[in-house]
Amino acid sequence: MLENHTKQSDSNIVIVGGCGHVGLPLGLIFAKNGFQVTAFDTSIESVDKVNSGLMPFVEDGAQDILRETLANGSFMASTNPESILDANVVLVVIGTPVDEHLSPNPNSVVDAVVDLFKYLNSSQLILLRSTVFPGVSRKVMTVLSEKFPEIQLAYCPERIAEGFALKELVSLPQIIGTDSPATYARASNIFMQITNECLLTSFEEAELAKLFTNVWRYIKFAAANQFYMMANDFGVDYERVRNAISLNYPRASDLPSAGFAAGPCLFKDTMQLSALVQQNFALGHAAMMINEGTPGYILQRLERKYDLSTMRVGILGLSFKGGVDDVRSSLAYKLRKLLLFKCKEVMVHDPLVLDARIVGMDEVIEKCDLLIIGSPHKIYSEIKSDKPVIDIWNILGAGVTI
């Protein structure tokens, strides 16, 4: 805890949506640093699991902190919205969803905050945490101030990489979007208990900072996947090219490896940014086509090389990235669907994901004619098999060509 900042009266924090991938790690870090934290969530199953001392998802280091803070009484989960009544600070972890037409619904966050009105009061500080459509924070401020003239609001976007939340929450600067110096002072005083640096922006600057960050990552992954496809079609191993241009060469040091660019944020936020400019975002659309088309490209290459109709194919890893159990928007599932139409049989394994279709890794390796690394879990870097293995992540270190 930083000695030059005191918590003053803002010691009671309630996190709305507090048992999810964004809210729970943040709540645990605050509780570990002396705040009294309640994770309010509508999922009875998640709340019961958390209160029993079990993390509902994989997050490195979180299990021990959960048990520690539950034991000392600084943290609890609840399905009772009345827990918000006594809070000094209300952190709202509700993002803007994208519908089946890939269009965001900006009113979803506003409506969710309005639903909390009966539990709010003018002395509270409201912090919006998840990704929101540009303009939503200011609209929430307008709606809140009509009912609670003295209430304070800031947009403080989460910036963590799933699986590394506890490390990054205490090491990354915290962006605080607000037009009020008093609100910034109050919010920064809270966040400076867990991190070393805060940055003041407007609502809109913070909203775009969050979207630009995710979309930039998505575009970089698309560039890598496009380069991978080009090299592969030319009969060249993309990883050898990438290593050649990035070795001790700072201007290419951030060129990613190939892989499935998926998860709950990158694609969604690219579509939000596109909607902001009335779909006039050719770069974002191109990134989407490349990244979402990667499973289809792999299938196309496999069809040139193998008679898939006679083969049993195994997918190793179903989560959207290695080391996590989150399957939201996972392209490994998209690949599975494509293979089911072409192959004799498709078998799947994942050491972290709960799915009734999963079988043991040894069984997949033994029975399948062809293996594909769908998610680069560490366990797969040690597999030994005489079967062909498709590994665009290069976790086996044997190259990425198909």
**54 and 121 assigned to the same domain:** yes
Dihedral in degrees, nearest 10, Cα atoms 41, 45, 48, 53: -100
CA distance 287 to 270: 9
53 and 194 inside one domain? yes
Residues 148 and 292 in one domain: no
Q: Which residue, 148, 183, 201, sits at the end of a domain?
A: 201
Last residue of some domain: 201, 219, 240? 201
Given a cut of 60, whether residue 209 has pLDDT beyond it is: yes
Residues 197 and 216 in one domain: no
Tell me what pLDDT residue 2 has: 37
Per-residue pLDDT at 4: 41
Is 396 a member of any domain?
no
pLDDT > 70 in the chain, percent? 97
d(CA 346, CA 364): 9
Statement to judge: residues 181 and 294 lie in one domain: no
pLDDT at 226: 98
Residue 252, domain CATH: 3.40.50.720
Instruction: Give the pLDDT mean for 318-331.
Output: 95
* pTM for the model: 0.93
Mean pLDDT of 54-71: 96
In this structure, is residue 371 part of a structural domain?
Answer: yes
Whether 400 maps to a domain, the answer reads no
Residue 210 in this model has a pLDDT that exceeds 50: yes
Looking at every residue in the chain, the average pLDDT score rounds to 94
Domain termination residue (choose one: 149, 173, 201)? 201
- In contact, 197 and 2? CB cutoff 8 Å: no
Q: Is the pLDDT score of 54 beyond 70?
A: yes
79 within some domain = yes
Quick one: pLDDT band at residue 101, thresholds 50, 70, 90? low
CB 246 within 8 Å of CB 297? no
Q: Are residues 145 and 221 in the same domain?
A: no
Across the range 317-327, mean pLDDT stands at 95
Write out the residue range of the structural domain in which residue 267 sits.
210-390
As a whole number of angstroms, the distance between CA 106 and CA 97 comes to 8
Would you call 149 helix, strand, or coil by DSSP?
Answer: coil
Higher pLDDT, 231 or 263: 231
Q: Closest Cα partner for 336 from 362, 317, 309, 310?
A: 317
Say what the pLDDT of residue 66 is.
98
| Longest CA span, the chain | 69
- Looking at the domain assignment, is residue 5 inside a domain? no
Higher-confidence residue of 151 and 6: namely 151
CA distances from 200 to 197, 209, 307 (A): 10, 12, 58
pLDDT over 90 percentage in the chain: 92
Give yes or no for residue 390 having a pLDDT over 90.
yes
Predicted local distance difference test score (pLDDT) of residue 216: 97
What pLDDT is stored for residue 1 in this prediction?
Answer: 35
Establish if 2 belongs to a structural domain.
no
* 265 pLDDT above the threshold of 60: yes
Q: pLDDT, tens digit, for every residue of 167-191?
A: 999 999 999 999 999 999 999 999 9
**158, 279: one domain:** no
Do 383 and 263 share a structural domain?
yes
Of the two residues 100 and 323, the one the predictor is more confident about is 323
351, 384: one domain: yes
pLDDT-derived band at 104 (thresholds 50, 70, 90) equals confident
Does any domain span residue 135?
Answer: yes
Residue 264 confidence class, pLDDT cut points 50, 70, 90: confident
In a domain, 398, yes or no: no
Residues 83, 159, single domain; the answer is: yes
Listed in sequence order, the residues at least 6 apart from 256 whose beta carbon sits closer than 8 Å to its beta carbon are: 220, 221, 224
DSSP secondary structure letters along 264-293: SSHHHHHHHHHHHTTT--HHHHHHHHHHHT
220 lies in the same domain as 247: yes
Separation between Cα atoms, residue 183 and residue 152, nearest integer Å: 6
The number of folded domains in the chain is 2
| pLDDT of 6 strictly over 80 | no
Together in a domain, 83 and 196: yes
In this prediction, residue 3 carries a pLDDT of 38
